[in-house]
Every structure is written in structure tokens, then in C-alpha cells.
Amino acid sequence: MKLAGNNLVLSLKSSPRYRWYILATASIGTFMSTLDSSILNVALPTISGKLDADLAILQWVVTAYLLTISSLLPVFGRIADLLGRRRIFSLGFLVFTLGSIMCGLAPNIWVLVGMRILQAIGASMLMSNSAALIIANFPPKERGQALGIIGTVVALGSLTGPALGGILVGLLNWRSIFFVNLPIGIFGYLAARIVLPQDKLLQNKETFDFAGALFFIFGIISLMFAISTGQSWGWHSYPILGGLILGTLSLACFFYTEVRVPNPMIDLTMFRIRPFLIGNITGLLSFVAMFANVMLMPFYLQHVLNYSPAQVGLLMTVFPLTMAISAPLSGRASDRIGPIFLTTCGLVVTGISFGYLSTLTATSLFWQVVLGLFLTGLGVGLFQSPNNSSVMSSVPPQKLGVAGGISALVRNVGMVLGIAFSVSLFQSREASLLSGVNNPTPLQQVTAFVGAYHTVMLAALSIALVAALISLNRKGYTP
């Protein structure tokens, strides 16, 4: 049995398609973590009733997961650079799967929140190393294509989650959405142990920067907590102001530490590499703009156009479906012509989509909404794969893990900022449009909603175009 297993491993690693097996293994982790994020949203109303949790408490099922991932992505990227990507990536499957099982067995809401944190630790191990595994094992001429396939996997996870979640909750119960990760996690762990290449540890005995890691974790958690809950708790409340101040001070201590220790957790000199710096800035702005619409579009469809939840879910799939098709094509093209043209065009198309969405009205037709979501998916698909390839290809091989962690962190921070920005701007503009109206009629409420939505979309358009101008400065790229 052992001999047969060894023969299988040797056969895989001697195959000319070995790098594609590595990509398939990395895709399992990406799919599982993406699926779990999207599948949960469908079950939240059911969880609220079954575990007797109101919305204020229930939000921590999502928030705790997001805060944990955001704080740990670069940490596990750095740990993987020191201890080996195969080891950390494999362990990520086990931790995520254990967390999923414990979530499914949770007797109350706070145990569920705690186990979501355990899940997020495993997801951080997976997400911080998937891109690094691909870049380390693919030649430059195929990296964009490989990362484009990962983009498709992300889109497929987003597409599959709501539908699968609805089926599982309807046929079984809410706990089944967590148990579905068990076979995926076990298969992913076995694939990682069999397929991924043996780790080549650093020979210069670098140490882990514990002080920097602690400052970073505390700073990111404090800031992300304040940003994600500031709108609901009040931006002038003591917990939010405290989070902003403590987070800023902690990150200042982090940067102070990083420039003085011999082996920093994040080598800040990486940001002197222009493609790395430009790619992360434009990536952040892209996600801020994108999530402004991701947050508000379902409310527009349901509250203004009066579509049913099922119709809303169907319409919203246009965005990830278009991205799933365009991302690998854009990635393959970037391998031939480089990232500058494609990333810039992608951001321009994204901006155009927001400009178009700002023209939607209370009587817009189905196909008009589809066109707007199609343009957004096309723009994001054109941008993401070449941008990721540009960022990851610009750093030394021994820094791939922490670089992947930073890129994933930028994505999560962009999501949080986009949601906070869009909600704050939307509510402020809506209140301004309804000022002086004591008892607004349904027509006045709809008119104010559409006007506020237009304002947010125009702001998102501006952000996307600023990102496009920044992307043009991606000089110095060498695949």
C-alpha cells in the first residue's frame, strides 16, 4: 500500500503537467473558503431563529471571521516563508475543517462565533499561500493564466454558495452548511500532502518577528472593528473612537518595529518595488469601489424594483459569472502583453459600469440591470488576474508567502472599507434628500433611495478612475 502511494507521488511529480496539479490543489482551498463565505449568508436568518440571536449579535458570526482573517493573513504568509508553504497550507485544511465541524455542533451563538474564529485561522493559512504556491511553481509566461483560473474558482465559489446553502438549509438544517466542508477539507488535505512539493526551508536561520506580529494583529483588529461597526455603533461612540486610536497607535508601533528588527514580519522594502506598491494600491481601490455596489445593489433590486429574493439572487450571479469567464482570458493575455494595459482597461470598464449604474431609475428594466452587472464583472475580471500576477511576480521567491498574505489582506480591507464607505455615504445622502419631510410617502422614499444610490455609484466611478490613473504608473514590471 505504501509502495503504491510512493509510486503515485513520484508519477505525479514527474509528470509534465505537475504544476497544474499544484494549481488544482490550491484551487480546492480557494473554493472551500470562498464557498463558506457565500453559503453562510443564506443561513443567517435561520441561525438567528434557531439560536435566538438578534441582528446585533448575529453580525459577529460574520465580523469575527473577517477580523481574524484580516489580522492573520500576512502573519501566516511570513510563517509559511519560514516553515514551508506545504506544511502551513496542509495544516490550514485541517484547522478549517475542524472549525467547520465545531460550527455545525455549536449549541449557542457565542460558541458559533468562537468556532468561526477557528475557521478563519484555517482560512488564513490557505488564502495567504495559494497565490504563492502558484507563482513559485509556474513559469512567468503562464502565471497570469493560472491566477486567472484561481479567479474563476473564486467566482464559482461565490456562485455555488447561495444556491447550495439554500438547498441544504431547506432539505436538512443550517448546521449542514458547515458539515459540507468535511469531505472537501479531507480531500484537500490529502491532495496537499501528496501533490505539493516538499518545502525548502530558508538556510540563513531567520527568526519570526513576534513583537511585530502582535502589534500588527492588534492594530488591524482594532481598526477593522471600528470601521466595520462604526456606522451601526456611531462614529463618535467611545468604542469606535477607542478602536481607531488604539489601532492607529498599534500600527505605528508595528512600522517602528519593522524598520529596526533584523528579520521583520513584513519586509517594508517590498513596497519600494513599484509593481508591488502600485498593484496593492489599485487592488485596494478596486475592492472599495466594487463593494460599494455589492452592498447596495440587492437593496435596490428588492426595495425599489420589488424583485423577490430568488430573483435578486439570480440577477446578482451575473457579476461573478462574467468574472469567471473574463478572468482566465485576461490572465492568459497578460502573460503575452504584460499587465499595464489590461489592469488599466479593467479599471476603466469598472468605472464605466458604475457610471452606467448611476443612471438606473425606479422603473429600470431587467436587462438594464443585467448590463450594468455584466460590465462590472467584465471590468473586475480584466483587472484582477493581471494585477495579481504583477504583484506576486515582482517579489523575491523567499518573500512570496508574506506577499500573498499582504495581497489577500488588501482584498479584505478593501471589502470592509467599501461597505463602510458606501453605507455611510448612502445614509448621509438619503437623509439629506429627505430632510424636512416628517412622514415621507413611499414614492418619496424610493426617490431618495435612488438619488442616494446614484451618489454612491458616482463616487465609486471616481475611485475606479483614480485607480486606473495609478495603474498606468506600473513601470518596472519584469515577468
pLDDT tens digits, one per residue of 274-325: 888 999 999 999 988 988 887 788 788 878 888 876 677 778 778 888 888 8
Segment (H or E) for 235: none
Are 310 and 438 in contact by the 8 Å Cβ rule? The answer is no
From CA 75, how far away is CA 129, in angstroms rounded? 11
pLDDT digits (tens, 9 = 90+) for 15-56: 778 888 888 888 888 888 878 776 776 677 788 788 887 766
For residue 442, report the phi and psi dihedrals to the nearest 5 degrees. Answer: -55, -40
Segment (H or E) for 421: helix 400-433
pLDDT of residue 427: 83
pLDDT at residue 4 above 60? Answer: no
pLDDT of residue 478: 46
Residue 389's pLDDT band, with cuts at 50, 70 and 90, is confident
Could you tell me which of 277, 295, 318 has the C-alpha nearest to residue 416? Answer: 295
The residues, ordered by sequence, that sit 6+ positions from 56 with a Cβ below 8 Å of its Cβ are 232
From CA 243, how far away is CA 225, in angstroms rounded? 7
More confident residue, 207 or 72: 72
From CA 427, how far away is CA 231, in angstroms rounded? 9
For residue 421, report the phi and psi dihedrals to the nearest 5 degrees. Answer: -65, -45
From CA 378, how far away is CA 330, in angstroms rounded? 10
Torsion on CA atoms 263, 266, 269, 274, rounded to nearest 10: 160
From CA 415, how far away is CA 70, in angstroms rounded? 11
pLDDT of residue 9: 60
| 150's grid cell | 484561481
pLDDT of residue 477: 47
What is the pTM assigned to this prediction? 0.79
pLDDT at residue 3 above 70? Answer: no
Residues 106-125 have a mean pLDDT of 91
Instruction: Please give the DSSP secondary-structure letter assigned to residue 302.
Output: I
From CA 359, how far away is CA 71, in angstroms rounded? 38
pLDDT of residue 1: 46
Side chain identity at residue 44, one-letter code: L
The residues, ordered by sequence, that sit 6+ positions from 307 with a Cβ below 8 Å of its Cβ are 301, 315
- Write the CA distances from 337 to 376, 402, 413, integer angstroms: 23, 27, 30
- Out of 64-78, 142-156, 423-437, which region has the weakest mean confidence (pLDDT)? 142-156
- Number of neighbouring beta carbons within 10 Å of residue 124: 29
Are 392 and 334 in contact by the 8 Å Cβ rule? The answer is no
From CA 383, how far away is CA 128, in angstroms rounded? 20
Give the best-scoring range by mean pLDDT among 6-10, 72-76, 155-159, 472-476: 72-76
From CA 84, how far away is CA 86, in angstroms rounded? 6
From CA 115, how far away is CA 135, in angstroms rounded? 32
pLDDT of residue 202: 58
At which residue does the C-alpha cell 430568488 appear? 310
pLDDT digits (tens, 9 = 90+) for 240-277: 999 999 999 999 998 888 888 888 887 788 888 888 89
Instruction: Sort 134 into a burial class: Cβ within 10 Å, 0-12 / 13-18 / 19+.
Output: buried
pLDDT of residue 49: 81
Helices 210-233 and 55-83, axial angle in degrees (round to 10): 160
Q: How big is the chain by its Cα radius of gyration, in Å?
A: 22
Residue 103's pLDDT band, with cuts at 50, 70 and 90, is very high
pLDDT of residue 114: 92
Using DSSP's 3-state secondary structure scheme, residue 473 falls into coil
From CA 58, how far away is CA 120, in angstroms rounded? 17
pLDDT digits (tens, 9 = 90+) for 206-220: 778 888 888 888 888
The residues, ordered by sequence, that sit 6+ positions from 162 with a Cβ below 8 Å of its Cβ are 38, 39, 41, 42, 313
Instruction: Sort 187 into a burial class: Cβ within 10 Å, 0-12 / 13-18 / 19+.
Output: middle
Could you tell me which of 186, 200, 180, 191 has the C-alpha nearest to residue 24? Answer: 191
Number of H helices, E strands in the chain: 17, 0
Residue 351's pLDDT band, with cuts at 50, 70 and 90, is very high
- Number of neighbouring beta carbons within 10 Å of residue 282: 29
Could you tell me which of 374, 320, 384 has the C-alpha nearest to residue 352? Answer: 374
